[in-house]
A = this chain, B = another copy of it.
Amino acid sequence: MRRFAARFKTTPEMISCNTCPRLGTSEWYVLKELDQARLSKSKTIQSFTKGSVIFYQGTPNTGIYCVQSGIVGLRKTDERGNAVLLNLIHPGQTLGMRSFFAGTDYMASAEALAPTTVCFIPGQVLRELAQTNPELDLEFLKHISRELGEAHDTILANTSHPVRARMAHFLLSLKERYGEEKNSGEVVIELPMTRHDIADLLSTRPETIARTITAMTRDGLVRFAGRQATLFDVEALSGESEAMNC
Q: Which residue of B lies closest to A143 (CB)?
A: B102
Q: Check A246/B78 contact, CB under 8 A, given A138-B137, A203-B159.
A: yes
A76, B152: Cβ atoms closer than 8 Å: yes
B142, A76: Cβ atoms closer than 8 Å: no
Chain B proximity mask over A117-140: 1 for CB below 8 Å, otherwise 0:
000000000000001001001101
A144, B144: Cβ atoms closer than 8 Å: yes
Q: How far is the CA of A107 from the CA of B57 in the complex (A)?
A: 29
Chain B proximity mask over A170-211: 1 for CB below 8 Å, otherwise 0:
000000000000000000000000000000000110000000
**A147 touches B (CB below 8 Å):** yes
Chain B residues whose C-beta falls within 8 Å of the C-beta of A204 in the assembled complex? 159
Q: Check A155/B154 contact, CB under 8 A, given A78-B244, A98-B149.
A: yes
Of the listed stretches A23-31, A35-43, A80-88, A215-223, name the one at the interface; the rest are far from the partner chain: A80-88
**A104 touches B (CB below 8 Å):** yes
Chain B residues whose C-beta falls within 8 Å of the C-beta of A160 in the assembled complex? 78, 80, 82, 84
Chain B residues whose C-beta falls within 8 Å of the C-beta of A146 in the assembled complex? 102, 104
Chain B residues whose C-beta falls within 8 Å of the C-beta of A148 in the assembled complex? 98, 102, 144, 147-148, 151
A141, B142: Cβ atoms closer than 8 Å: no
B149, A107: Cβ atoms closer than 8 Å: yes
B104, A149: Cβ atoms closer than 8 Å: yes
Q: How far is the CA of A203 from the CA of B155 in the complex (A)?
A: 8
Chain B proximity mask over A58-93: 1 for CB below 8 Å, otherwise 0:
000000000000000000111110101010000000
B137, A77: Cβ atoms closer than 8 Å: no
B152, A107: Cβ atoms closer than 8 Å: yes
Q: Which 6 A-B pairs have the closest CB atoms?
A: A82-B160, A102-B145, A151-B151, A159-B203, A78-B246, A101-B145
